[in-house]
Amino acid sequence: MKTIALNHPLIEHKLTILRDKNTGTKEFRELVKEISMFLCYEAFKDAKLDKTKIETPMQEMTSGKLNEDAYAFVPILRAGMGMLDGVLSVIPNAKIGHIGMYRNEETYEPVNYFFKVPKDIEKREVILLDPMLATGGSAIDAIDLLKEKGVKRIKFLCLIAAPEGLKVVEEKHPDVQIYCASIDDKLNANKYIMPGLGDAGDRIFGTK
């Protein structure tokens, strides 16, 4: 599946402020939440609705309603937590799982340390959350873990993606649709996205 990037003036505007090194922690968090809402909106364009009979103040009618229990949001810790409030403001009844990973600074490979998801996760469509798709290692490992649990429908939401990471994820998991706010230029020698926005986790949590 071809990656879907949100090419929109409002998204670029918010990303510009997000990228700025002078943007403070509070505003950074708020922008991550807002952009995540837009990503969630785009990711649910193909959502199936159940026909439901309701009564408006004027008359009875049949209209579509989303079965929110059919979905689960799974942030990749820790930076993915910054996106969670945004997507939950759109689909508040979705279940939540967590996948814990950190990057080995010598090998640049992801190290898994935590995995906890709803017990019936295989029945749900899972929306993976991680602000940065750099090498693609964390995304691939997270998708592998979910598929081992029997999950058949997975989407991946990120703020910024590198072409190198997109390529490997698309090759390894062609059935997973990726949504991002921007596809940046490249990875540098230290495997950080350029021009990027720095370390998303550090900027969300104010740890640097």
Q: CA neighbours within 13 Å on the CB side: how many for 108?
A: 12
Q: Among the options 107, 144, 203, 207, which is catalytic?
A: 107
- Tens of pLDDT, residue by residue over 77-116, are 989 999 999 999 999 999 999 999 877 777 777 778 899 9
Tell me the average pLDDT across 25-43. 97
Q: What is the rounded CA–CA span in Å between residue 196 and residue 183?
A: 9
Residues 6+ apart with CB under 8 A from 57: none
Residues 6+ apart with CB under 8 A from 144: none
Q: Please pick, among 25, 69, 202, 207, the residue that the annotation labels catalytic.
A: 202
Does the pLDDT of residue 125 top 80, yes or no?
yes
User: Is 144 annotated in the active site?
Assistant: no
Q: Between residues 28 and 2, which one has the greater pLDDT? A: 28
Q: Are 161 and 182 in contact (CB under 8 A)?
A: yes
Using CB atoms within 10 A of its CB, is residue 79 exposed (0-12), middle (13-18) or buried (19+)? buried
> Where exactly are the structural domains of the chain?
4-47+65-205
202 is catalytic: yes
Q: Topology of domain 4-47+65-205, per CATH?
A: Rossmann fold (3.40.50)
Q: Return all residues near 185 (Cβ < 8 A) that are at least 6 apart.
A: 162, 163, 194, 195
Q: Is 85 a catalytic residue?
A: no
Model confidence at 29: pLDDT above 80: yes
The pLDDT assigned to 23 comes to 95
184 pLDDT tier (thresholds 50, 70, 90)? very high
